[in-house]
Chain A
Amino acid sequence: MDAPSTPIPSGIEGALDVTPQTRPRATYLEVLHDWIVTVDHKKIGLLYIGFALIFMVVAGLEAMAIRIQLAVPHNSFLDARSYNRMFTMHGTTMVFLVGMPILFGFGNYLVPLMIGARDMAFPRLNAFSFWVSAFAGIFLYFSFIGGLGLAGAGTAPDIAWFAYAPLTERPFSPGHNVDYWALALLASGIGSIGTAINILATVFCMRCPGMTLSRIPLLAWIYATVSFLVLVAVSPLTAAQVMLLIDRYLGGHFFDTQAGGSAILWAHFFWIFGHPEVYVLVLPAFGFANEIIPVFSRKAIFGYPAMVAATVGIAFISLGVWAHHMFTIGMTSFGNTFFTLSTMLVSIPTGIKTFNWLATMWGGKLRFATPMLFSVGFLFQWVIAGLTGIMLSVSPWNWQLHNSYFVVAHFHYVLVGAILFMIFAAFYYWYPKMTGRMLSERLGKWHFWLMIVGFHLTFDVMHIPGLLGMPRQIYTYEPDRGWTLLNQIVTFGAVIQAVAMAIFVYNLVHSYFAGKAAGPDPWDAWTLEWSTPSPPPAYNFPVDPVVASRRPLWDLKHPEDPDSAFE
């Protein structure tokens, strides 16, 4: 938005900032110092995102090592221990050092801007949370050079990302690999809980005048829900890490089966965190879709109250489904029946969301810029991931599919096909706001199409070895099982995805210096962040904006047809 030429219906005009954005050039040291001591929510958001991107590349390389190893049976590219370390670190990194930080990064950046606030509720807690999480990441990766050093892959954890007891107890995992894992997750959990408290307080206490809870963008609703889930779900994980460390160093027997402890107890603790965690990761992706799909369909989101209800519904149901990760662990028939039903129930609110996105597109004028392309890819893949999720919720079928490559394919459909695709969409959509430059659309289309082809080659095909009995987390396999060709196709797809990822990273860097200037509102969008300059100044809004509807900038641009007349 440059200068609005039409009369302005509400108090929004105060938010339009005409302050000059020029400052004397800072030295590198000053810049560095500024980034380290900053408490600005936007800078912390960018730190989170940058941190997550670095680890995404690292964990992506680990995935490539895994795929090279599995390309032929009895491969010797990695030995057994190194392979086990690769998939443990790949999973742990992607969940705790990529997924959570990148989503918190976008949340940090966007939530205050979208609700018309100048910063998060607790700026210093915000900085603390980030640096604790960053420490956790560096600490976890120090395990590669700690201990035996790089040649022996150090003492990196090799216990799988869910670290089932009693493999993590000292008789089975001597040395410090489990300690690195447990302490890193403990620290990262503290950071996550800090940010969750912060986002909750921000959404509930920092909204600008007129921004009632029924008017905040759906993304803000989603981040509030996610933060609630983080508070409830990360705490048991933190407790479990403490219990594990007590077992290992203070003679406890929580999970020490040789002294009467319980292996199932750990599984319960882990999955009561682990399943809500899936929704902690996927709900922000839904949030991005809630913002991006309407703008590129040129229509208001269909069924805002239903979307809010579905979000909160998913959060509550997700707290009662954890044992569907444990259908084979020996629960009673009643237990299996209960968790089958509760898991199937998740599909109702997620179905509502899917249909609402469809209805938002229905009757619109769809513009297929890169953010929308990724959103459409997300919709397709999310439907498929949801349906394979229903298959897995059927506990008798789960007895076959559990811990097979079918499960690996299913959750990568969620994590890559849905979440990563929406993260890409979010980058293409909000990068102009964050940097003032557009990402290259040409490279963006290359990125999208290569990603689509690579993704489907990899993860569609990956379901089949699971149906043919291939368990996950095996460093090699027998040539007579009929898995070889399928694994080769999967590896080939992974290479294509790696190329797409390289194009994306190049686009991020190149466009920062050479991208087209974005202006404050390149997508002709409707939420408050687009009323600020790109990038927004440290104080976001010179005065508190005043809003009268869910789409304040629509009201501004269409005074003849304001939303405020209908809500």
Chain B
Amino acid sequence: MLWNVARSCCLSCAALLVWPHWPGNIFSTSSTPAREVHGLSLFILVITGGIFIGVASLLVFALVRFRHRAGDMTEPPQVFGSTQIELAWTIIPILLIIVLFLGTARVIFAVQDAPKPASALDVTVIGHQFWWEFRYPKYNVVTANELHVPLSDPQAPTPTFLKLTSADVMHSFWIPRLAGKTDVLPNRVNEMWVDPHEPGLFLGQCAQFCGTQHAKMLLRVYVDSPQDFQRWIAQQQRAQQSGTPDPAPSPQGPNLGNDNPAAGVPPNTPPTRGEIAAQLKESSDAITPEQGRRVFEEQACMNCHTISGTAANGRFGPDLTHLMSRATIASGIVPNTPENLRIWITTPDELKPGSLMPAMHLNDLQNAQLVAYLTTLR
């Protein structure tokens, strides 16, 4: 039995050190707070491992040495206790605890009370049932589910300081390879920071049960080189054009955009009702981004979603302004492809049952138009 225990412990430790590149391995860290914790955890592992080996050997020795021998009818000598021995195994653990505690306290203060450098980037994280909203107040950028942070040079650190709060229930923000988790609470702002030293994609997910789809509230963090990060910010800052995305709209073409009704129609020859109806019929059958935008604005989509530069400014769901710049949809659960977008819009429950995104009950044509529009949101 002891052998089982010891072996499984050794195997698990070995496994963790040999396969460092599992996406959530807390022993394969690449950011400062997680590294501090990693170092501390190895220190604690060594001490607790030593205690285990000591106590387990005593126990095994006692089990073997003091087993009852067949035929022995006598009782062993009765020993009732010993004050010296009791004192010994009280004082030694106290000393061990002082060591453990001081080592721990140092890391607590180093991580929690770290001063914020002027070069730090601020990001506000807002947890929602069941997705993440990220706001970059300095850059006026809002995005969802995929956080971009700059790589930090140890010589001139540019850490990212996160302010976390929730729009509904409790969540927890956890990217194991970057930092420990911090709970995301409504009516409260928590803070944490990361100082990543390695570019790439880091995976995590919500770590506090928050309702039906807690399991699919995934989280992706991209650590970009400073140039890539600036490029990404610049791209996210662009608003979408509110009118037709067509750069040179034909004067004859349909233009019923609600923002600029006079642009495409000659002012002195108002179309007859029949002509409008025909144009409408013809154009509304076209699978164009422009028609998709109309569906977006006429159906309920814009009540919940924002597309900056257009009339859509809902706040309940993720900001879709640069939807196509994200690799996944529905909080990281499927790749961001037109087909998945179509499934997500018609039957969100197929991908994420219990998600708060309603099934939109669009017909196939509207759906195709909407997807055509969404795929232009780069």
Contacts and interface: CB of A to CB of B under 8 A. Distances in A.
A522 interface: no
A158 interface: yes
A356 B90 CA distance: 11
Interface in B8-23: 8-9, 12, 15-16, 19, 22-23
28 contacts: A167-B210, A172-B211, A298-B75, A299-B76, A303-B86, A329-B190, A351-B89, A358-B55, A358-B58, A361-B62, A361-B63, A361-B66, A366-B68, A377-B1, A383-B52, A391-B48, A400-B41, A402-B207, A452-B1, A452-B4, A453-B4, A456-B8, A468-B22, A468-B24, A473-B215, A482-B24, A566-B80, A567-B80
Given A328-B181, A397-B40, A399-B182, A166 B169 contact: yes
Interface in B149-196: 168-170, 172, 174, 176, 179-183, 185-188, 190-191
B1 A362 contact: no
A324 B48 CA distance: 19
A34 interface: no
Interface stretch (B98-106, B230-238, B315-323): B98-106
B148 to A, nearest CB: 20
B68 A299 contact: no
The 7 closest A-B pairs by CB, nearest first: A469-B24, A399-B180, A474-B215, A330-B190, A303-B81, A257-B186, A482-B22
B91 to A, nearest CB: 9
Interface in B203-222: 203-216, 218
A534 B204 CA distance: 58
Given A297-B66, A470-B24, A380 B215 contact: no
Interface stretch (B109-117, B273-281, B294-302): B109-117
B12 to A, nearest CB: 5
Interface in A293-324: 297-300, 302-306
B57 to A, nearest CB: 11
Interface string B52-93: 100110110011001111001001111111100110011001
A358 B62 contact: yes
Given A299-B78, A380-B5, A397-B40, A264 B185 contact: yes
Interface stretch (A115-123, A195-203, A457-465, A535-543): A457-465
A565 to B, nearest CB: 11
Interface string A536-567: 00000000000000000000001001010011
Interface string A334-374: 00110011001101100110111011011111111000000
A298 B101 CA distance: 39
A126 to B, nearest CB: 34
Contacts of A355: 89
B37 A358 contact: no
A354 B174 contact: no
A480 interface: yes
B2 interface: yes
A298 B76 CA distance: 7
Contacts of A64: none
A387 to B, nearest CB: 4
Interface stretch (A78-86, A98-106, A216-224): A78-86
A461 B40 contact: no
A441 interface: no
A22 interface: no
B1 A473 contact: no
A161 B141 CA distance: 38
B333 to A, nearest CB: 8
A160 B63 CA distance: 41
Which of B172, B174, B181 has the most chain A CB atoms closer than 10 A to its own CB? B181
A6 interface: no
Given A344-B100, A399-B179, A481-B22, A80 B8 contact: no
B120 interface: no
Contacts of B24: 468-470, 481-482
B45 interface: yes
Contacts of A398: 180
Contacts of A383: 52, 55-56, 59
B211 A471 contact: no
A279 B224 CA distance: 48
B93 A348 contact: yes
A332 interface: yes
Contact of B23 (A80, A481, A567): A481
B211 A397 contact: no
A131 interface: no
A365 B72 contact: yes
B100 A390 contact: yes
A400 B181 contact: yes
B204 to A, nearest CB: 7
B25 interface: yes
Contacts of B101: 340-341, 344
B304 interface: no
Given A80-B354, A306-B86, A261 B66 contact: no
B20 to A, nearest CB: 11
B354 A81 contact: yes
B218 A478 contact: yes
A509 interface: no
Interface in A127-163: 158-160
Contact of B170 (A167, A300, A470): A167
B45 A391 contact: yes
Contacts of A166: 168-170, 186
A398 B44 CA distance: 12
B180 A400 contact: yes
Given A469-B25, A476-B215, A396 B188 contact: no
A302 B83 CA distance: 11
Contacts of B82: 302-303
Contact of B79 (A300, A384, A471): A300
Contact of B172 (A359, A403, A453): A403
B345 interface: no
B200 to A, nearest CB: 15
A398 B41 CA distance: 10
